[in-house]
């Protein structure tokens, strides 16, 4: 085969063939004007899928090397003007494959009167794909870099900003151009500069990165916010140190949440006052400071003047009187509002240096710091008491409140937190014992009596849970037949150390501390159970009398509670008699009338206890659904000795008879009392003449003996 390049001087045919055909780079020779193929090498055949024989009559336009004649003319003109090889990136469609990118190198060859175009193709698809992947990776990195929540920034060795991501710019409020004019020191408060430099010199120099540490940054608007920062050494492509990378996290929200958690841990959520935990911490700190000051000034104190020095600390223990009644009668929402109002009033009364905390329930503690005299502590206590002189409006209701306050002084009454609080608490109990709505200072004279009451109070709070309460029953005797017709349930406290404690010793305490309703509920349940048991045993006891406290009666669910116990023990309603005082019935509120109507509808009997000792208004009796009047022991006691008491007793019996009510006389102890009552028309009596209050087993034995 003759050499296809034999016409191209000055190469020999053999030399041209070796260069042209064996070159791994695709080459073609086409006519200059028409682009008709003259020759192609083997690499072109392999790459583009065309055989030399198939290209003899074709042009470069036919095989897709050129798709636009105008573009080829531009190429030819460039070659003519520049007189050398021209290169351009082109897309060439292979015969049986997708188009690929090539770098085309074209050169004009003149052979006598004929001009040719010599073209070589370098496949750059892989390079372009790699560049595309690299760009894609760069784009993904930039997207990630600019969408990360943490801020990233790089500074040079002089701490000038070189670059930063979007989060960093947004948390500071600067544009990128503005930040690039600043240094790291410009966005950091001066007090943090020394820390940054120390970390750069120590941690970064030693290991190339720092611990995560907290500091502050300054926004463009001048506001300061907390950040968490970690620094890294920046190394250039030659391995040389060229600055720092910083990873910055805005921790403002975390700080706010932590502050909120801390606040909740140390503050009462209802009143927003410091709670007992914070109070103890504050008191410990205050006492330590007071002791230190006392020691520092001790040498300057003239002999004999120690007792006249002002106290360094005063503790006021404030307890709202009868607050439990508010919760029981008006509901906890009203009680909560009342606590909030009381807390607000006391907060506004005190100095900024004073400390007010809610110790729990309706108890508050005021801490007064030095110097405090007895007079100044008393002045604060009087001002607190005066806050409650006027009624407090809650939900359009006027509520009258008072407070009892106990005061302990440092160092006279204690030199530690426990002693100060304990002694102020004791003094507060003294104030309650002496009529409430007053204050008392702690003193050794308080000692035994108050401590005894406190001990009893704390034990009483758990008596129900420890099953220490029991019921005794006092028979009620028909004066006509002498038979037992009913019993009155009377609660006793079986103290594990003191034995049986009568109700007069603990019922007033139960009323004070607000657990009388719980005790009354237990009495009602146990009395109904016992009455049902006796009924099943066919004991001829007609009724069980149970005392209902004011707090029980004022509960909105009293009727439902009574109905539940009757149904639970399958007890006929007429066998249960509820005893209430005159004072309860005199308050003919909507709730009182509703409760009375509900109890009457159930079929439960009602009796007025201690009649004649309260309001003794006669007109209201005819409108109340009661079946019995109980003459108080104070009138029965002096029958035979006091004509006035006899006259009152006769009047009560006559009134009952006219109103078709039964009369029960309490405290009958002597025969002459019994005779007087029978002659006056009284139907029922109870007292020591017949029997003391007895356990259930002894009541049963009384019938067994008969």
Same domain (yes/no): 594, 491: yes
Q: Does residue 137 sit within a domain?
A: no
Per-residue confidence (pLDDT) for residue 30, from 0 to 100: 86
When pLDDT is cut at 50, 70 and 90, the band that residue 331 belongs to is: confident
Give whichever of 257-261, 638-642, 644-648, 662-666 has the largest mean pLDDT: 662-666
**pLDDT of the residue at 1:** 35
Least confident of 246-250, 449-453, 482-486, 505-509: 449-453
Residue 134 in domain: no
- Provide the 10 A C-beta neighbour count for residue 689: 14
Tokens representing residue 61 in the block: 């336009």
The band of 493, judged by pLDDT with boundaries at 50, 70 and 90, is: very high
Rounded to the nearest 10 degrees, the angle between the axes of helix 516-536 and helix 558-568 is 30
Task: Output the pLDDT for position 299.
Answer: 52
Q: What pLDDT does residue 374 have? A: 85
d(Cα 406, Cα 403) in Å, to the nearest integer?
10
Domain shared by 237 and 327, yes or no: no
Average pLDDT over residues 459-474: 91
Q: What is the pLDDT of residue 345?
A: 92
- Domain identity same for 201 and 285: no
CB-count exposure of residue 205 (10 Å: 0-12, 13-18, 19+): exposed
Percentage of residues in the chain having pLDDT higher than 70 = 88
Determine the average pLDDT of the residues in 207-224. Answer: 91
- SS3 breakdown of the chain: % helix, strand, coil, rounded to 5? 45, 25, 30
What CATH number does residue 239 fall under? 3.30.450.20
| Structural domain includes residue 7 | no
The mean pLDDT of the chain is 84
Quick one: pLDDT at residue 13? 39
Query: Of the candidates 461, 487, 508, which is a domain's last residue?
Result: 461
Closest CA to 657 of 686, 629, 687: 629
Q: Is 401 helix (H, G, I), strand (E, B) or coil?
A: coil
314 and 441 assigned to the same domain: yes
The alpha carbon of 666 is separated from its chain's Cα centroid by a whole number of angstroms, namely 54
Distance (Å, whole) CA 64 – CA 49: 12
Please give the structure tokens belonging to residue 203: 């941690």
Instruction: Provide the pLDDT for residue 111.
Output: 80
User: Own/partner pairs for 433-437, CB < 8 Å, 24+ apart?
Assistant: 436/321, 436/402, 436/404, 437/321, 437/385, 437/388, 437/402, 437/403, 437/404
**Quick one: 319 and 219 in the same domain?**
no
User: What mean pLDDT do residues 73-79 have?
Assistant: 78
From 412, 439, 461, give the residue that closes a domain: 461
Residue 372 bridge partners (DSSP): 311
> Which tens digit of pLDDT belongs to each residue from 166-199?
889 888 999 989 999 999 999 999 999 888 888 8
Global pTM reads: 0.51
CA angle 582, 585, 591 (to 5 degrees): 155
Alpha-carbon span 431 to 433, nearest angstrom:
5
| 447 vs 100, more confident | 100
**Which comes out higher in pLDDT, residue 422 or 143?**
422
141 within a domain of the structure (yes/no): no
CA distance 529 to 473: 13
Q: Quote the percentage of the chain above a pLDDT of 90.
A: 32
Give the least confident one: 93-97, 351-355, 371-375: 93-97
Average pLDDT (644-665) is 88
Higher pLDDT, 93 or 522: 522
What is the band of 12 on the pLDDT scale with cuts at 50, 70, 90?
Answer: very low
Domain co-membership, 456 together with 485: no
> Of the residues 461, 480, 512, which one is the last residue of a structural domain?
461
pLDDT in tens, 105-115: 888 888 877 88
Q: How many CB atoms lie within 10 A of CB 347?
A: 14
What integer pLDDT is reported at residue 14 of this predicted model? 42
Q: What confidence category does residue 10 fall into, taking pLDDT thresholds of 50, 70 and 90?
A: very low
- Tokens representing 656 are 């009952």
Q: Is the predicted pLDDT of residue 127 greater than 70, yes or no?
A: yes
| pLDDT for the residue 18 | 59
* Choice between 5 and 464, residue whose per-residue pLDDT is larger: 464
Q: Calculate mean pLDDT across residues 623-641.
A: 86
Residue 219 lies in a domain: yes
Evaluate whether residue 629 is within a structural domain.
yes
Based on the domain organization, do 625 and 492 belong to the same domain? yes
Report the SS3 class of residue 215: strand
**Residue at 193 is within a domain:** yes
Instruction: Mark whether 195 and 282 lie in a shared domain.
Output: no
Once rounded to an integer, what is the mean pLDDT over residues 293-297? 71
Question: φ, ψ for residue 132 (rounded to 5)?
Answer: -65, -45
What value does the mean pLDDT take over residues 29-47? Answer: 85
Q: Which pair of structure tokens corresponds to residue 592?
A: 């009182």
> Do 366 and 350 sit in the same domain of this protein?
yes
Strand partners, 493: 469, 501
Residues 520 and 642 in one domain: yes
Q: Are 426 and 289 in contact (CB under 8 A)?
A: no
- With vertex at residue 378, the alpha carbon angle to CA 377 and CA 383, rounded to the nearest 5 degrees, is 100
- Determine the average pLDDT of the residues in 561-584: 90
Residue at 2 is within a domain = no
b/e 438-476 (16+ beta carbons within 10 angstroms → b): bbbbbeeebeeebeebbebbebbeebeeeebbebbbbbb
**Residue 287 has which token pair?**
């006492």
- Tell me what pLDDT residue 534 has: 93
* Domain region containing 356: 270-297+309-461
What is the C-alpha separation between 416 and 29, in angstroms, rounded? 108
Task: Specify whether 561 is located in the same domain as 623.
Answer: yes
User: Which of 233, 249, 398 lies closest to 326, judged by CA?
Assistant: 398
The mean per-residue pLDDT over the stretch 31-50 comes to: 85
Segment 521-572, tens digit of pLDDT? 999 999 999 999 999 999 998 999 999 887 787 766 889 999 999 999 999 9
- Output the pLDDT for position 77: 78
Task: Kindly state the tokens that stand for 97.
Answer: 């494959």
The pLDDT value recorded for residue 67 is 66
Per-residue pLDDT at 604: 93
Nearest Cα neighbor of 185 from 224, 154, 159, 149 is: 159
What CATH number corresponds to the domain at position 441? 3.30.70.270
| 225 and 288 inside one domain | no
Give me the pLDDT at residue 11, please. Answer: 36
What's the total number of domains in the chain? 4
Sign of CA dihedral 266, 271, 276, 278: positive
């Amino acid at each position: 085969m003759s050499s296809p390049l034999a016409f191209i001087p000055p190469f020999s045919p053999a030399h041209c063939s070796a260069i042209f055909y064996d070159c791994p780079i695709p080459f073609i020779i086409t006519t200059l004007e028409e682009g008709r193929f003259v020759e192609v090498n083997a690499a072109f055949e392999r790459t583009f899928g065309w055989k030399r024989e198939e290209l003899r009559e074709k042009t470069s336009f036919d095989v897709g090397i050129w798709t636009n004649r105008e573009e080829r003319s531009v190429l030819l003109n460039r070659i003519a003007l520049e007189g050398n090889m021209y290169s351009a990136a082109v897309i060439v469609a292979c015969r049986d494959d997708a188009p690929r990118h090539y770098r085309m190198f074209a050169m004009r060859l003149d052979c006598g009167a004929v001009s040719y175009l010599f073209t070589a193709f370098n496949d750059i698809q892989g390079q372009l794909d790699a560049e595309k992947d690299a760009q894609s990776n760069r784009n993904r990195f930039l997207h990630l870099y600019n969408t990360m929540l943490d801020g990233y920034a790089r500074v040079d060795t002089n701490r000038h900003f070189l670059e930063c991501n979007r989060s960093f710019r947004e948390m500071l409020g600067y544009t990128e151009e503005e930040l690039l004019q600043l240094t790291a020191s410009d966005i950091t408060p001066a007090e943090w500069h020394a820390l940054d430099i120390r970390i750069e010199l120590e941690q970064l120099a030693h290991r190339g990165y720092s611990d995560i540490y907290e500091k502050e940054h300054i926004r463009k608007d001048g506001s300061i916010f907390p950040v968490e920062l970690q620094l890294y050494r920046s190394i250039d492509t030659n391995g040389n140190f060229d600055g720092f990378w910083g990873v910055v996290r805005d921790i403002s929200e975390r700080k706010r949440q932590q502050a909120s958690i801390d606040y909740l841990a140390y503050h009462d959520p209802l009143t927003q006052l410091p709670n007992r935990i914070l109070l103890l911490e504050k008191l410990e700190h205050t006492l330590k400071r007071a002791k230190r000051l006392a020691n520092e000034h001790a040498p300057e104190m003239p002999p004999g003047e120690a007792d006249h020095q002002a106290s360094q600390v005063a503790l006021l223990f404030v307890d709202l009187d009868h607050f439990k009644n508010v919760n029981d009668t008006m509901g906890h929402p009203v009680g909560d509002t009342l606590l909030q109002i009381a807390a607000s009033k006391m907060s506004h009364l005190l100095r900024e240096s004073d400390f007010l905390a809610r110790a729990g329930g309706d108890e508050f503690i005021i801490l007064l710091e030095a110097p405090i005299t007895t007079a100044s502590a008393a002045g604060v206590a009087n001002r607190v008491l005066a806050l409650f002189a006027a009624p407090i409006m809650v939900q359009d209701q006027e509520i009258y409140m008072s407070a009892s306050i106990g005061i302990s002084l440092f160092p006279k009454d204690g030199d530690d937190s426990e002693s100060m609080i304990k002694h102020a608490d004791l003094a507060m109990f003294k104030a309650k014992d002496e009529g409430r709505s007053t204050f008392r200072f702690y003193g050794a004279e308080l000692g035994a009596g108050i401590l005894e009451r406190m001990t009893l109070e704390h034990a009483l709070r758990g008596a129900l849970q420890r099953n220490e309460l029991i019921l005794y029953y006092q028979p009620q005797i028909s004066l006509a037949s002498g038979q037992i017709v009913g019993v009155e349930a009377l609660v006793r406290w079986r103290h594990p150390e003191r034995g049986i404690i009568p109700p007069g010793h603990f019922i007033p305490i139960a009323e004070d501390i607000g657990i009388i309703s719980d005790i009354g509920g237990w009495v009602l349940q146990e009395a109904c159970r016992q009455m049902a048991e006796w009924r099943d045993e066919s004991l001829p006891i007609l009724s069980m009398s149970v005392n209902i406290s004011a707090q029980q009666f004022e509960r909105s669910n009293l009727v439902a509670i009574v109905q539940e116990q009757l149904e639970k023990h399958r007890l006929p309603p007429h066998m249960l008699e509820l005893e209430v005082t005159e004072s309860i019935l005199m308050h003919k509120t909507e709730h009182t009338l509703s409760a009375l109507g509900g109890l009457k509808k159930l079929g439960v009997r009602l009796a007025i206890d201690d009649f004649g000792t309260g309001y003794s208004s006669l007109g209201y009796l005819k409108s109340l659904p009661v079946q019995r009047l109980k003459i108080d022991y104070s009138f029965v006691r002096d029958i035979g000795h006091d004509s006035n008491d006899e006259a009152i007793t006769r009047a009560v019996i006559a009134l009952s008879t006219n109103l078709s009510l039964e009369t029960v006389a309490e405290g009958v102890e002597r025969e002459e009392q019994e005779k007087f009552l029978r002659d006056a028309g009284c139907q029922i009596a109870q007292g020591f003449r017949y029997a003391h209050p007895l356990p259930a087993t002894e009541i049963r034995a009384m019938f067994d003996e008969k």
